[in-house]
């Protein structure tokens, strides 16, 4: 893989330098997916809704990745939450997105949250749910459901076990059984960094083994 040497240490609030970490793995989790479920390459994103570089990834990098790799069936993106402790409204925003996911509107809420970054009071989050046409009674009940907080905690544990300490962070790789193995990318990196890793894993997954020689 296109690797640089780096340390995942300290608090990373934006681009880390350099941006690609050694290969590692994450356990598979049932989380929102953008793209085809059987796409050969998996991109796992850890994000924080109050993180400005996470918003930059969403607005500047994801459209390119979606057009070239997700829409063409080469890769899928799986989203996980990593609300940083210094961002007090990132966790409620993550809960709002998870509750929208229960009504099959995760990515609509995801887009709305980044478009309204910094407007995450309880009333504003509920207003976004109303704008999206969600069942507000179900939304309200969901926001009080301990299972939603447990899901966010599971993502936080997974990130910390992977030695991720900031956002955005990504694992690009392939799924093998109950694990996704690949290369971590830390921070808001150039498009070429993402594209290089995705292409390499895609080529590894789709290369054909030559058949027997026939005379």
One pLDDT digit (tens) per residue for the chain, 215 residues: 333 222 222 233 333 333 444 446 676 777 889 999 899 999 999 999 999 999 999 999 999 999 999 999 999 999 999 999 999 999 999 999 999 999 999 999 999 999 999 999 999 999 999 999 999 999 999 999 999 999 999 999 888 888 888 899 999 999 888 888 899 999 999 999 999 999 999 999 888 444 454 44
Distance CA 196, CA 94 (A): 30
pLDDT value for 7: 26
pLDDT value for 87: 96
Distance CA 153, CA 85 (A): 12
Distance CA 10, CA 137 (A): 41
Distance CA 55, CA 205 (A): 30
pLDDT value for 54: 97
Report the alpha-carbon angle 65-67-71, nearest 5.
105
Pairing mode, if any, of strands 20-27 and 41-47?
unpaired
pLDDT value for 6: 29
pLDDT value for 28: 74
Q: Is 104 left (phi over 0), alpha (psi -120 to 50) or beta?
A: left
Q: In the predicted model, what is the mean pLDDT of the chain? A: 86
Task: Report residue 108: phi and psi, to 5°.
Answer: -65, -45
The position carrying tokens 């809704």 is 49
């Amino acid at each position: 893989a296109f690797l640089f040497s780096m340390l995942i240490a300290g608090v990373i609030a934006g681009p880390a330098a350099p941006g690609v970490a050694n290969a590692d793995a994450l356990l598979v989790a049932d989380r929102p997916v953008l793209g085809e479920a059987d796409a050969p390459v998996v991109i796992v994103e850890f994000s924080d809704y109050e993180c400005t570089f996470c918003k930059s990834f969403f607005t500047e990098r994801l459209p390119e990745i979606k057009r070239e790799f997700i829409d063409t069936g080469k890769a899928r993106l799986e989203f996980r939450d990593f609300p940083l402790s210094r961002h007090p409204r990132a966790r409620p925003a993550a809960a709002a997105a998870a509750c929208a996911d229960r009504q099959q509107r995760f990515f609509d809420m995801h887009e709305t949250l980044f478009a309204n970054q910094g407007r995450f009071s309880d009333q504003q989050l509920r207003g976004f749910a109303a704008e999206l046409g969600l069942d507000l009674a179900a939304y309200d009940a969901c926001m009080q459901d301990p299972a939603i907080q447990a899901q966010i905690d599971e993502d936080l544990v997974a990130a910390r076990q992977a030695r991720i300490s900031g956002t955005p962070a990504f694992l690009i790789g392939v799924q093998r059984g109950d694990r996704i193995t690949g290369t971590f990318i830390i921070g808001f990196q150039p498009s070429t960094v993402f594209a290089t890793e995705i292409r390499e894993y895609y080529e590894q997954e789709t290369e054909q083994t030559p058949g027997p020689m026939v005379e």
